[in-house]
Chain A
Amino acid sequence: MSSRSRVDPYLAAVLLVVFALFLPKLVLADTHLYRELLTPRVLLTAGCALKICALVIAALLAGRVARSFAPGDAMRTGWWLATVWLGCWSLGQGYLGVYQIGLGTSAPFPSGGDLFFILGYPAMIAAFAFFVHAMTTTGLVGPLRAQLVVALAAALPAMVLLVFVLRPVVSADVAPAERALNLAYPSLDVVALLPALLLARFALRLAGGAVFFVWALLSLGIVCMVAGDLLYAWFSSLSFSALDPVLDVAFIAAYLLVARAVFQQHRISVSVRAPPDEAR
């Protein structure tokens, strides 16, 4: 039985297609390809559909994963909170989908979708806290205090970037609700980043095993999401839209990675008949 880590070929293929669809727009926006074929509406619809699928599947699987842990188990609580987080974000993305898929336009900002996204954040942060707590109680990942210092050091660049990004956001000439959300999203992201980095550190200790991919992909997804939100707040405050394809890729990649992480935990703890090699 092989114990080597391997990249999920399906996830890699989907991510490559996403990159290939969105990123060339950075330099080829005025070409026939992006004016006639991959029009803004096509990309908006494709991106939104991918995000909705990833979030809905992740929410459904997270609920099943939660039930695979015993009542009272911290991991069960964590996975239920993750279900709430992903469920809220599914509703938020579904709300945006009414505009992006149904009407073929960008959703207004702020919109009702933001209510669901904001509601999902406390659940996400609490879920991560439960995961970290449960893992430290095993005695296998080292003492929490030592891990926290390293995670704080790792999150420091994001905190510095947050201050840098939020400065123009505070003084931007935008509606109060838009300013509040542009401040809230990156700030909540950085709060979530700390436990996500702890989970990434724990994941490194699990390298080579099926469980590694759960926490590595989840952490990577959160990093992509934080990058997307920080850039979105920054670009939005500067009314700068030329780099929108980067934002699209960051959010789509984030949701796909999170969905794959949840699917991985599902394969391990719910599809128990699958051997560990298949769970990778």
Chain B
Amino acid sequence: MGLPARQEDVRAVMVAVLTPYLGRNMAQSSAKLYLERLGPVTAVGAAEVEQILTWMRPGLRVFAGEQRAALVLGELRAALMKLLEGA
């Protein structure tokens, strides 16, 4: 696993993955909400990524259903891990 990534980069990845499903506004609100929930951290590591995905699951299930939510979260996990590996 690589170094923690900057919050701005994590936010950008989250918005990019969520926008096709939730639209840009909701994707940005969602990314902001969950990153703020992490508290005053400037860098995001693998543990924080897993925490964010856990927080996101119930909300995403409401809009997209069980299977699609799992698919989107898998896509997001892969994109964020790729970011961490490149950090």
Contact = CB atoms under 8 A, between A and B. Distances in A.
Interface in A185-233: 205-212
A65 B18 CA distance: 21
Interface in A52-91: 65, 68-70, 73-75
Given A209-B26, A269-B66, A272-B67, A3 B59 contact: no
A138 B25 contact: no
A270 interface: yes
B29 A68 contact: no
A135 interface: yes
A137 interface: yes
A125 interface: no
Nearest to B18: A209
Secondary structure at chain A's binding surface: helix, strand, loop or mixed?
Answer: loop
Contacts of A75: 61-62, 65
Interface residues of A, number: 31
A139 interface: yes
Q: Looking at chain B's contact residues, is the secondary structure mostly helix, strand, loop, or mixed?
A: helix
B63 A208 contact: no
A160 interface: no
Interface string A124-159: 000000000011011110000000000000000000
B23 A268 contact: no
B59 A139 contact: yes
Interface string B1-40: 0000000000000000011111111110110010000000
B71 interface: yes
Contacts of A139: 33, 59
A173 interface: no
Contacts of B64: 211, 268-269
Given A69-B61, A139-B33, A140-B30, A208 B66 contact: no
A1 interface: yes
Contacts of B71: 272
Contact of A208 (B25, B33, B59, B65): B25
B58 interface: yes
A138 B19 contact: no
Contacts of B65: 65, 68-69, 75, 265, 268-270, 272
Contacts of B82: none
Contacts of A209: 18-24, 26-27
Given A68-B66, A74-B62, A272-B71, 17 more contacts: A65-B65, A69-B65, A73-B62, A75-B65, A135-B63, A137-B58, A137-B62, A138-B59, A138-B63, A140-B30, A205-B29, A206-B23, A206-B25, A209-B22, A210-B20, A265-B65, A268-B68
Minimum-distance CB pairs A-B, first 7: A269-B65, A209-B23, A208-B23, A138-B59, A276-B20, A68-B65, A209-B22
